[in-house]
Amino acid sequence: MKRFAITVAIMVSCLVLVPTQQSHGQAIAEIIREAIVKVIKAVDLMIQRLQNATIQLQNAQKAIENELSKLKLKEIADWGEKQRQLFKTYYDELWHVRSIIMYYQRVKDIVNKQAQIVTEYKSAFSLFQKDKHFSAAELQHISDVYLGILNQSVKNVEELTMVVNSLTTQMSDAARLAMIGHVGQAVDNNLADLRTFTHQNKLLSLQRSKDASDMETVRQLYGLP
Is the pLDDT at 76 greater than 60, yes or no?
A: no
Q: Three-state secondary structure along 142-208?
A: HHHHHHHHHHHHHHHHHHHHHHHCHHHCCCCHHHHHHHHHHHHHHHHHHHHHHHHHHHHHHHHHHHC
CA 160 to chain centre: 9
41 vs 211 pLDDT, higher one: 211
Is the pLDDT at 120 greater than 70, yes or no?
A: yes
pTM confidence score: 0.68
Residue 134 DSSP code: S
CA 14 to chain centre: 33
Mind listing the pLDDT tens digit for each residue in 187-221?
A: 999 999 999 999 999 999 999 999 999 999 999 99
Q: What ranges do the domains of the chain cover?
A: 23-222
In the chain, pLDDT over 90 holds for what percent of residues? 31
**What is the rounded CA–CA span in Å between residue 225 and residue 223?**
7
Residue 109's pLDDT is what?
87
